[in-house]
Chain A
Amino acid sequence: MTTVSLTVNGQSVTADVDPRTLLVQFLRENLRLTGTHVGCDTSQCGACVVHLNGQAVKSCTTLAVQANASVVTTIEGISQGSELHPMQAAFREHHGLQCGYCTPGMIMSAIDIVNRKGNTLDEQTIRAELEGNLCRCTGYHNIVKAVAAGAQGMAQAPLQQAAE
């Protein structure tokens, strides 16, 4: 067993884990943060995307020990109490989800896209940047709209962005 210490959604966490434990397993099983999902075993679907030190990573291909001494943010950690993060609100407002399974990874990727590409995103940029996230329900039409709107929303809510 190996000891890992990290900060998850603002809280310090220390645990002994089997060295082969994936970050997603650590989040889901040790911390019971089940909002982060597993949809494949080849790092293709993106249902497991979380932020590691502020950048999107696929937690199914990250070992928990790689996250040692790091800051991890999951879907459970981006809203401010009952107030949704602008990207969460945009997914809801624009019907950017159906079954909800890919949604946490989509939202975490979308926030990362905005962090990297800014708040004004055109359709082609969004579609290209969503390369690492699969959705089987929506045909992406409303996800694209949600990401564009969420990006605008993040510009108007800088405090929330900083809190992340």
Chain B
Amino acid sequence: MTATGIGAPVRRKEDQRFVTGQGRYVDDFNRPGQAHAYFLRSPHAHAAIRSIDTGPATIMPGVIAVFTGDDLAAGKIGGLICGWMIHSKDGSPMKAGPHPALAQGKVRYVGDHVAVVIAETLAQAKDAAEAIVVDYDVLPAVVDTAQATKASVQVHDVSPDNTVFNWHLGNKDETEAAFARAKHVTKIDLVNNRLVPNPIEPRAAVGEYDFGTDNYTLYTTSQNPHVARLVLSAFIGVAPEHKLRVIAPDVGGGFGSKIFIYAEETVCVWAAKKVKRPVKWTSDRSEAFLSDAHGRDHVTHAEMATDENGKIIALRVHTTANLGAYLSTFSSSVPTYLYAPLLSGQYDIPAIYCEVDGVYTNTAPVDAYRGAGRPEATFVVERLVEKTARELGQNPAEFRRRNYITQFPHATPVIMTYDTGDYAASLDKALEIADYNNFEQRKQESARRGKLRGIGFSSYIEACGIAPSQAVGSLGAGVGLWESAEVRVNPTGSVEVLTGSHSHGQGHETTFAQLVSDRLGISIDQVSIVHGDTDKVQFGMGTYGSRSGAVGMSAIAKAIDKVIAKGKKVAAHVLEASEGDIEFKDGRFGVAGTDRSMAFGEIALQAYIAHKFSGQDLEPGLKEGAFYDPTNFTFPAGVHICEVEIDPDTGVTKIERWTAVDDFGVIINPMIVEGQVHGGIAQGVGQALLEGAFYDESGQLITASFNDYCMPRAIDLPSFQVGMTVTPCPSNPLGIKGCGEAGAIAAPPAVINAITDALGHEDIAMPATPQAVWRAAQKVRMPMAAE
């Protein structure tokens, strides 16, 4: 390992600009002549629009234009799309209702887009929006996930009972047979609470149109600018793909919520041409709560069957997944193919059957949020495993160990083939770091102080490195999920890497440069990472699903291999040797068995000056591109152990210890990987203890600001003990599995397993707020303090 190569905790290159206030986020861009957009949003969860009178608004000071859904329709602007087709059990396609960028005839959730005002200043646009007169015929709303199909309210005409799909996976007959012969069956009912992703940078967009060149530019807070461009051009029809440049500069966190193509950026690009001015929109936090795609929102009943030896023999799951009022970009994949295939967890379970009913409600669209389906699956499996162990009177760690998969590759009954792993190694290390052997002693000590101490495990697995294109295509994805890279070597030997991945906190400018440094033997200071601009990078699928290491960097590695191969050809001419004798080692091209060699930069110069070879023999230049399509998902896995102490008088749960032992395969930068783990855990703890998006019966979001929606703060969290085990991933050239989502996937069941352990009963839901825990604690007869 070199100081800046693979495995080194290199300090981040991008931090210089971020710590000095020189980061450039979308709202920092102001284009000459820019006007401001403000969206009038529905105050009702469900209403027919009888009429919209924009007249009073258009004469307000500073107003340039007011547009409604009719204007978009007249401009032949298509609706927003869902890019993953799910088929129901009966073979019928999912029922996708229309999703216009600005409402047409009906609004379906509070925050739905009714009209846009474009004005000289944002204040003028806001003032004018208040003057728009909308005549609503308010309709009853359906908001409850579990009751959605039974409601008399119909969200979309295409779905009379609000069902989007009735989907299933696994083997029903084998599962039923296994339950029939089970020695013990454990049942559980779970709600996976609705969350708001809340990256601290709100979404923003600036649309611009150049009448001279007929080119459009969109600055947008996107995790995947090329996908945004593709959708905006091919499906929504805002601009031809080759005429639309999408720039996603520094982006202040995404966590999934910035994958999707939303109404606001669509309207900004379209309106820029209409009003002949650049059009800027920046979400405020209240708008973000209402209109960013939310996450989770599952209601699940699950059962686990075990035999007389305490071996898990079957799992059956029924989930109702709330998809909100419209199908967001990847929403349909989240509770289906990103969920049920993970229900085997780390366990050898011969029979699994899962049914998922996707439903519409009059709530904000629900789509991928950090982990996307995999946290929901892990919550089901790990709560059920814990409860089973308790019912069988077995130690939860040892019950898990007994059921771990130990032979690889392992094909599960839910279409995944795990390539590698060593789950017991992670468990052993976690038990040691958590000082599990002395837990009982700590529990007694807490009891002496009148406190309830509990410990909870989460043996999670996830499927990352998303994903083999053929595989996802067969499952309904509308796109391939490879990644592209281009490695441009300059005549001076410095290198630019153009990547289709996008960094919004992950530190790609550092980790990707480490790979180049490692492979080419040059300093990371000689490497620039270019991303987030469709005019620079030819194409890319973007960053989500912990894919940038396993897929994005694999594409870079492939392109580097091509650069080295070309460099050997150049070196053969320059060093007057046969190509087969040229070796590349430690940043030098040399002739095997001699002391003749040249540095990488010298060969780069030779490639460009082309004095030593003819253009007929060898093309000048040194630039190579690659598309990498993974051969399998990757399977990061690990064990998290949460230890809590509950004050039964106040219901406050304090996390006393957090142990995370993860197997992410090969790690490029351990400092950055640990940071990803910390952040993921924080979001998972937030889900378990603090966060919940709640609508009242009329469909009003009652947790619509940071005053009402409890984000984790520093005081709510402990410092984390993070350890690693490594089984290199065999499915990509770098051995990387991915780390971005692990914490958010692992954490919620660890917390709830710890709380239920402390309480001595299972009756607690997320978020386990002090009030909820206090109520739950009242059911427990406090052990008398030792006297």
Contacts and interface: CB of A to CB of B under 8 A. Distances in A.
Interface of A: 18, 20, 28-29, 33-42, 44-45, 47, 74-76, 79, 84, 88-89, 91-93, 95, 97-104, 107, 123, 126-128, 130-131, 133-144
A138 B719 CA distance: 11
Nearest to B680: A139
A127 B21 CA distance: 23
Contact of B18 (A34, A38, A100, A141): A100
B21 A45 contact: no
Interface in B652-684: 671-672, 674-675, 678-683
Nearest to B720: A141
Contacts of B284: 38, 40-41
Nearest to B254: A99
Among B17, B250, B674, B715: residue with most chain A CB under 10 A = B715
Contact of A40 (B11, B671, B705): B705
Interface string B17-30: 11111111101101
Contacts of A140: 678, 682, 712-714, 717
Nearest to B684: A139
30 contacts: A28-B28, A33-B21, A40-B284, A44-B706, A45-B706, A75-B20, A76-B20, A84-B20, A88-B19, A89-B19, A92-B15, A95-B672, A97-B15, A98-B505, A99-B199, A99-B505, A100-B17, A100-B23, A103-B23, A134-B711, A137-B200, A139-B678, A139-B682, A139-B683, A139-B743, A140-B678, A140-B713, A141-B717, A141-B720, A142-B675
Contacts of A42: 285, 705-707
A37 B202 CA distance: 10
Contact of B201 (A76, A101, A139): A101
A99 B252 contact: yes
Nearest to B288: A40
Contacts of A139: 678-683, 712, 717, 720, 743
Given A39-B201, A74-B21, A104-B21, A95 B706 contact: no
For B28, B202, B679, B743, which residue has the most chain A Cβ atoms within 10 angstroms? B679
Contact of A99 (B251, B681, B743): B251
Interface of B: 11-12, 14-25, 27-28, 30, 123, 198-202, 250-253, 255, 284-286, 504-507, 671-672, 674-675, 678-683, 705-707, 711-715, 717, 719-720, 743
B20 A88 contact: yes
B212 to A, nearest CB: 27
B201 A98 contact: no
A79 B255 CA distance: 31
A141 B719 contact: yes
A129 B682 CA distance: 18
A79 B506 contact: no
Contact of B707 (A44, A47, A92, A95): A44
A101 B285 contact: no
Given A99-B504, A100-B505, A136-B253, 15 more contacts: A38-B27, A75-B20, A75-B21, A84-B19, A84-B20, A99-B201, A100-B250, A103-B19, A135-B200, A139-B680, A140-B682, A141-B675, A141-B717, A142-B678, A144-B714
A99 B255 CA distance: 11
Contacts of B682: 136, 138-140
B368 to A, nearest CB: 16
A91 B707 contact: no
A36 to B, nearest CB: 7
B372 to A, nearest CB: 16
Given A37-B252, A101-B25, A134-B200, A127 B715 contact: yes
B21 A34 contact: yes
Contacts of A88: 19-20
B781 to A, nearest CB: 32
Contacts of B198: 136
Given A84-B20, A134-B711, A47 B679 contact: no
Contacts of A40: 284-285, 705-706
A98 B675 contact: yes
A40 B16 CA distance: 25
Given A18-B123, A35-B20, A101-B23, A137 B706 contact: no
A101 B714 CA distance: 16
B611 to A, nearest CB: 40
A132 B680 CA distance: 21
Nearest to B255: A136
Given A76-B21, A93-B11, A99-B251, A131 B715 contact: yes
Contacts of A84: 19-20
Contacts of B705: 40-42, 44
A39 B202 contact: yes
Nearest to A138: B679
Nearest to A74: B21
B488 to A, nearest CB: 26
B120 to A, nearest CB: 12
B19 A34 contact: no
Nearest to B503: A99
B253 A107 contact: no
B253 A98 contact: yes
A131 B716 CA distance: 10
Nearest to A97: B18
Max chain B CB contacts within 10 Å: which of A18, A103, A130? Answer: A103
Nearest to A77: B21
Counting chain B CB atoms within 10 Å of each CB, the highest count among A28, A37, A100 belongs to: A100
Contacts of B672: 95
Contact of B200 (A28, A76, A99): A99
A131 B678 CA distance: 18
Q: Which of A104, A127, A141 has the most CB of B within 10 A?
A: A141
Contacts of A37: 25, 200-201, 252
Contact of B199 (A28, A136, A144): A136
Nearest to A142: B675
A114 B286 CA distance: 32
A33 B109 CA distance: 37
Q: Nearest 8 CB-CB pairs, A to B?
A: A35-B21, A101-B252, A100-B18, A139-B682, A99-B505, A44-B706, A75-B21, A139-B678
A99 B504 CA distance: 5
A110 B712 CA distance: 18
Interface centre among A20, A36, A107 (most CB of B within 10 A): A107
A141 B673 CA distance: 13
Given A41-B705, A100-B23, A136-B253, A95 B505 contact: no
Contacts of B711: 44, 134, 136
Most chain A Cβ neighbours within 10 Å, of B12, B201, B284: B201
A92 B9 CA distance: 12
Contacts of B674: 95
A2 to B, nearest CB: 15
B25 to A, nearest CB: 7
A136 B679 contact: yes
Contact of B713 (A20, A89, A131, A137): A131
